[in-house]
Amino acid sequence: MFSVKNEIDYAAAHEGLIVGVFEKPEKFSGVLSKLDDQFDCQLTELVKSGDISAKFKSVNKIHSFGKVSVKRIWFVGLGKEKDFTFEKLSAALGKVFKAINASKLKETALLLDSFTTEEVNGLDAAHAVSEAFALASYKFEGYKQKSNEPEKKLEQLTVYSEETDNEEVHASLTVGYAFGKGTNSARTLVNTPGNMLTATDMANYAKELAAKYDFEVEILEKAEIEKLGMGAFLAVNQGSVEPPKMIVLKYQGKDDWKDVIGLVGKGITFDTGGYSIKTKAGIVGMKSDMGGAAAVLGTMEIIGELKPEQNVVAVIPSTDNMISGNAFKPDDVITSMSGKTIEVLNTDAEGRLVLADAVTYAKHHGAEYLVDVATLTGGVITALGLHTTGAMTNNDWLYEQVLEASKEAGEPMWQLPLFEKEKERVRNSKVADLNNSPGSEGHAIVAGAFIGEFAEGTPWVHLDIAGTATTAKEHDLGPAGATGVMTRTLALFVERFEPIEK
């Protein structure tokens, strides 16, 4: 997949060579100067004249004319060097990798040193290269009949780096690729139709991860779920012919099971809304209602590949939310695993119900810090749009760590308030401890506040990805469809996690 070489070999017959260029270079220096020498110093002139654009995310392809053995050189515009960031580098690389895949090259080389600055060093650039390589190359195959013609795609990348240690570069390439592949796995899970990804299918997928990475795995079947008193989870499953699964994966990276991070992902494989049924337009796309579970499973794949020195328990409550004579109804009162009773006012507010029992079960497995991720509310889209994940917390120390990870991953999030008044709205029921839907005002906030009732005093962050889990438009690092959002954020958070001093 990747090979790293210190000395650039212009006699090597690569199909392509990827080079980064910044705006307004008076003269190429370093690695670009050596390349320019191969072209009798004409490349500088081409950039100055604008024939090769250095504008951010521009991609220009030129023939080598036999000056070097590489067939074609792909110049990637990086914009102004003073404005350059890791996120911008990822976007530019995504653009060129898409162009190369469209040209059906199977192999290419890249001059790593042409993408580095004081802001982005060689190791960061290597991470961006391999992550973008994976993300931009992603394609969900779907279920159309296939032609017999073999697909040509980029399979081999040679990275030339004169300024950074080769072993360190290769290690960064390995990490970046793991992040990209884990995100792609999450994308595929979300893109898969609900009839092909049931709770049982998701449980089997988790078992495969466990076998591959030596995780401890536990799959609770319906009888065990009933025995544990997970009435909130069971209520959502009542209308389904598909059995529910409470999926648990445990990774132990420390000698002792302490400072345990609990990752909890909503795993609703299809959501009709139940008797509070969705509209005919709103019900389409509800195969993506397990985007939180996908992000957690993608994160566990990255953890399995990179083996950080952390302890993690992943908990995924998985079922569909269907309509039948057995389905739960508005006005029902159910009892959660925690013992808290819940008045059901809206059967389409089901995600918070399954997460309630999952959060309680994560604490049962020793989770001392909790992050839940869920396609929870349309309200977060109204509040923050389609590009920002909503977040809530009961602990600023933990939230800041998740926030920093999201910034580094390029997955924006914004904190919503958790005031006592919103907690009181969730607790406002004449017949139960809580109600699951106090009204449409501040919908995303009260949904998060409901989950917070089950986190209780455990440090907790809630991530609502209803707007960010999918996209209708192709983008630099992927196609339309599932984004795999929060997979990289959670993986970075786990990798860098520092427990609260006690």
Known catalytic residues?
278, 352
| Separation between Cα atoms, residue 175 and residue 167, nearest integer Å | 12
Residue 5 pairs with which residues in a beta bridge?
A: 160
The Cα diameter of the chain in Å comes to: 83
Tell me the C-alpha distance between 424 and 434, whole Å: 9
Question: Tokens 């100067």 appear where?
Answer: 33
DSSP result, 209-252: HHHHHT-EEEEE-HHHHHHTT-HHHHHHHTT-SSPPEEEEEEEE
How far apart, in whole angstroms, are the C-alpha atoms of residue 288 and residue 186?
A: 11
Note whether 347 and 282 are within 8 A (CB).
no
CA dihedral 190, 193, 198, 202 (to 10 degrees): -30
Residue 312 pairs with which residues in a beta bridge? 251, 261
Give me the residue label for tokens 């030596």.
214
Burial class (CB in 10 A: 0-12, 13-18, 19+), 386: middle
- Residues 405-429: b if buried by 16+ CB within 10 A, e if exposed: bbebbbbebeebebeeebbebbbeb
Do 203 and 243 meet the contact criterion of CB atoms below 8 Å apart?
no
- What's the half-sphere exposure (Cβ side, CA atoms, 13 Å) at 170? 10
Shortest CA distance to 200 belongs to which of 141, 241, 260?
241
Q: List the beta strands (DSSP E) in 10-132.
A: 16-21, 59-63, 72-77, 107-111
Sheet architecture: strand order including 341-343: 333-335, 341-343, 434-435
Question: Phi and psi of 168, rounded to 5°?
Answer: -70, -40
* Tally of CB atoms within 10 A around 438: 23
Phi-psi region of 385 (alpha: psi -120 to 50; beta: other; left: phi over 0): left
